[in-house]
Chains A and B, each alone.
Chain A
Amino acid sequence: MFGFKNNSALNSDGAAALMKEPGESFKSYMRSYALLVVFLVMVIVLSIISPTFMTPKNIVNIFRQISINGILAVGMTFVIILGGIDLSIGSLCAIAGVTSAIMLERIPGISFVAIIAGVLACSFLGAVVGFIVSKFKIAPFIATLAMLTIARGLALVIAEGVPHTIKDPFYISLGNGYLWETSSPDQISIPTPVLIFVIVAAVSMIILYRTKFGRYVYAVGGNEQASRASGINVNKVKMMVFILNGTLCGIAGIVLAGRITSGQPSAATGYELDAIAAVIIGGASLTGGAGKISGTILGALIIGVLNNGLVLMGVSSYYQQIIRGVIIAAAVILDQRTKHIE
């Protein structure tokens, strides 16, 4: 390796550490490890308690159930790393579904155009949030709280308050389809929403870890002033994060509408909470500057497995809510404690 010829100042330890390939630092390794333990314990306990839990069909089911929250949580990861939060994502999902469903209702057959339009509508609303946050220096909590009710109202206006059925087979397949068809019910296949989630996660990882923009997101979230003093266009970074997040909301909204075969103005109400929970369980810091897509995926999986397990065990839905809250708090406490051990 070059660059090591005249580094007498470095002790051998330092040099050895520098030569390590880019990978997980020990600290973050330990942290994701703790989460992984939580996840594995849950899986083991559930497979002992419930015989159906470990069946291939159920596993496919879990993945399909988490894919919408997963897509939203990936977008939320960007926002939280930036030091913000987005409460409007559920409403944006509804906008995407309603817009595309109505377009299809008026002009059948243009499913592709309608879907793109639905997604772009959300990108636009994300841009509006980004503009308010960066230009007027309004805290994202406030700006997105406003957008939460504005977008929900907008969805109701567009849909005139009623659900709009989707009949287009391509659109429906985005929510209900499989990667390949199976002939018998025993065979399994990968559901389309899972595929979309995987693509979204992979592209997001590339954006966050491999691009300048990704670096800037971490830097601005970690220290906005220092980032500005280093010549980063902070407003542009904020703007782009909210546009990206809006776009992912649009994608999630389309998958959801396809799954329930209708564009509903009241769809995805409260989805922001699950997305935020997944990101926080995944180890991101609400103060910004830290967080990982892999953590968020694990967070979404923990929530998904928990929901699925509680249903399989026949726990009443009232108790389900309590248990979910307790597990979320416990996971974050455990995560914090492992952080302190380091």
Chain B
Amino acid sequence: MAEYVLQMKGVSKAFPGVKALDNVSLNIRPGEVHALMGENGAGKSTLMKILNGMYQPDGGEIIFNGEKVCITSPTEALKIGISMIYQELNPILDMTIAQNIFIGREPMQKNRLFIDDKRLYSDAKVLLEEFKMPLNPRWKMSKLSTAQKQMVEMIKAVSLNSKLIVMDEPTSSLTEEEVNTLFATIERLKKENVPIVYISHRMEEVFMICDTVSVLRDGQYIGTRPIGELDKNSLISMMVGRELKDIFPKTEVQTGETVLEVKSLSKKGVFNDISFKLQKGEILGLYGLVGAGRSEIMRAIFGLDSYSSGEIILNGKALKAKNTKQVIENGVSMVTEDRKELGLVLCRSLKENISLASLDDCSKGPFVKRKLENERCVNMTSKMRVKMSSLKQNAESLSGGNQQKIVLCKWLMKNPRILILDEPTRGIDVGAKAEIYQLMSTLASQGLAVIMISSELPEVIGMSDRILVVGEGKIKGEFAREDISQDDLLACALGGDK
């Protein structure tokens, strides 16, 4: 067998005004899990889109299974054995698992007119059993969890006789347990000698399942190393080109008076008897497993969802508001978990997105003061170091980290007293993460009260003054900054009743 399944040599690609890839190489051996890492905008997606046939390279060559190939479309890529599993999956939810696996190549009856349903389901069953998936091929896709959907996509890729599978941020919306199932599946694929290109921002995962790491930075190829030769810090410095020592720049802050008090807030079947206080200048971490009810509590406080009983006291006054507008006017801002669904209007300009929540402050009567608005947006984006070419570009054209900064710009323009951050660093690169941590720290020292929901232990521990652990819709424990340990937090979240 050839030494490499895939060789990409000297691949370059330029877009108007940007050199996205400059002489990049990537070599994948059979049966390895190969991590492709780099900050957002480093060129990972562009490289993979070239491999997938979505883009044509300006220079360089691709050698796949010993042959020089020219991939002109995703269909072509699939045909020669390259499968992609994207961050956002798009299965057809109303069709069954089997129908999704065999879509476009359904086994036909002898008359070649009708689908042979019997074989469709028996073939799918064999595949599912092969991967030890306890799923019925007749279930609708919509019944499955995100992880299970991903598993089905992988099975589909294998059944297509894929010789290379690319996974883009596969775990970003999975729970711990689901991640383990995914990793088990990856191990099985490895045994079948199918190499996997694994794109992820999560260091821990990369160290757990990958064999080799290739790093890109600003469209340049930085290097490839066996995972054993690297540790977290050396990998980060490869990615950002500088040592990131103070990744959690938490400063000690004298906390002030109570700005928010929640008294036995409940919503039937979602969360129950939630009580806590938040002080000026404090960063309150809300840790828990995905699905524990953390976001739901905050959404209720922010007025996005209703709650059935309890009391919210803001700055000493009971909050009667039942909609988000009033909560915002009372000085609360919330950076929601899902940037694309709730954070940004992707098809509109950065400027319109940034000023959306604070148009009242830069308008006269019904009219927007456009000069003032522009000035404020320019100031805010430069303060936040948003990488962009113009305030007029669409929000969807930015990378994840910069999109998150735009959402933050929007809320900071509102000058909130309380800032709720729901998974503020999900899916964004290390550099942008560090900047967001720095910002949180600075804001808190200026007296802002911050609530941070996070599933990443190092982040919660690194940034919080105090941590509430949420599980099964209840507050399971409270930890002060001084006596936090990873093990305790995790044990508490997993529900070890004391």
Contact = CB atoms under 8 A, between A and B. Distances in A.
Interface of A: 2-4, 6-7, 9-10, 13-14, 17-18, 20, 22, 25, 210-213, 215-216, 218-219, 222-223, 225-233, 285, 289-290
Nearest to A212: B359
A137 B254 CA distance: 48
Q: Which of B343, B388, B390 has the most CB of A within 10 A?
A: B390
Contacts of A212: 359-360, 363, 366-368
21 contacts: A2-B375, A14-B387, A14-B389, A14-B390, A17-B390, A18-B390, A25-B393, A210-B368, A210-B370, A218-B348, A219-B348, A219-B352, A219-B356, A222-B346, A222-B348, A226-B345, A229-B336, A230-B324, A230-B410, A231-B328, A232-B325
Contacts of A227: 345, 356
Nearest to B390: A17
Contacts, number: 109
B356 A215 contact: yes
A226 B385 CA distance: 23
B375 A289 contact: no
Contact of B367 (A4, A211, A216, A226): A211
Nearest to B379: A3
A231 B325 contact: yes
A269 B379 CA distance: 52
Given A25-B393, A229-B324, A290-B347, A3 B356 contact: no
Given A3-B382, A211-B363, A229-B334, 10 more contacts: A13-B17, A25-B349, A211-B367, A223-B345, A226-B342, A228-B324, A231-B325, A231-B327, A232-B325, A289-B347
A9 B357 contact: no
Nearest to A222: B345
Nearest to A228: B324
Contacts of A2: 375
Contacts of B352: 215, 218-219
Interface in B311-345: 323-325, 327-329, 334, 336, 341-345
A299 to B, nearest CB: 20
B389 A17 contact: yes
B347 A229 contact: no
Interface of B: 17, 302, 304, 323-325, 327-329, 334, 336, 341-349, 352, 355-357, 359-360, 363, 366-368, 370, 374-375, 378-379, 381-382, 385, 387-393, 410
A14 B388 contact: yes
A225 B341 contact: yes
Contacts of A218: 345, 348, 352
B342 A229 contact: yes
Nearest to A13: B389
A10 B382 contact: yes
B442 to A, nearest CB: 15
A212 B361 CA distance: 11
A229 B389 contact: no
A327 B483 CA distance: 72
Contacts of A13: 17, 389
Contacts of B366: 211-213
B157 to A, nearest CB: 28
Given A211-B367, A219-B356, A22 B374 contact: yes
A185 to B, nearest CB: 45
Contact of B357 (A3, A225, A230): A230
Contact of A226 (B344, B382, B390, B393): B344
A291 to B, nearest CB: 11
A144 B305 CA distance: 29
Contacts of A211: 363, 366-368
A48 B479 CA distance: 83
Q: Which of B334, B375, B378 has the most CB of A within 10 A?
A: B378
Nearest to B336: A229
Q: Which of A14, A213, A232 has the most CB of B within 10 A?
A: A14
A235 B442 CA distance: 37
A22 B363 contact: no
B359 A215 contact: yes
Contacts of B334: 229
A25 B391 CA distance: 10
Contact of A223 (B324, B346, B367, B381): B346
Contacts of A222: 345-348
A211 B360 CA distance: 10
Given A17-B390, A218-B348, A289-B347, A231 B368 contact: no
Contacts of A231: 324-325, 327-329, 357
Contacts of B348: 218-219, 222, 289
Nearest to B371: A22
Contacts of A216: 359
Contacts of B347: 222-223, 285, 289-290
A68 B278 CA distance: 59
Nearest to A6: B382
Contacts of A233: 323, 325
B343 A226 contact: yes
Contacts of A289: 345, 347-348
A213 B374 CA distance: 18
Nearest to B355: A215
A223 B368 contact: no
Contacts of A6: 382
A2 B372 CA distance: 11
A20 B342 CA distance: 30
B137 to A, nearest CB: 34
Contacts of A213: 366
A218 B345 CA distance: 9
Contacts of B375: 2-3
A4 B336 CA distance: 30
B347 to A, nearest CB: 4
Contacts of A285: 347
Contacts of B302: 229
A105 B341 CA distance: 54
Contacts of A229: 302, 304, 324, 334, 336, 342-343
Q: Which of A7, A212, A230 has the most CB of B within 10 A?
A: A230
Q: Which of B329, B345, B355, B393 has the most CB of A within 10 A?
A: B345
B342 A225 contact: yes
Nearest to A8: B382
Contact of A25 (B329, B343, B374, B390): B390
A68 B389 CA distance: 41
A22 B375 CA distance: 12
Contacts of A219: 345, 348, 352, 356
Nearest to A236: B325
A77 to B, nearest CB: 16
B344 A223 contact: yes
Nearest to B375: A3
A95 to B, nearest CB: 28
Q: Which of A13, A210, A219 has the most CB of B within 10 A?
A: A219
A14 B352 CA distance: 17
A25 B327 CA distance: 35
A234 to B, nearest CB: 10
Contacts of B17: 13
A6 B387 CA distance: 15
Contacts of B359: 212, 215-216
A85 to B, nearest CB: 18
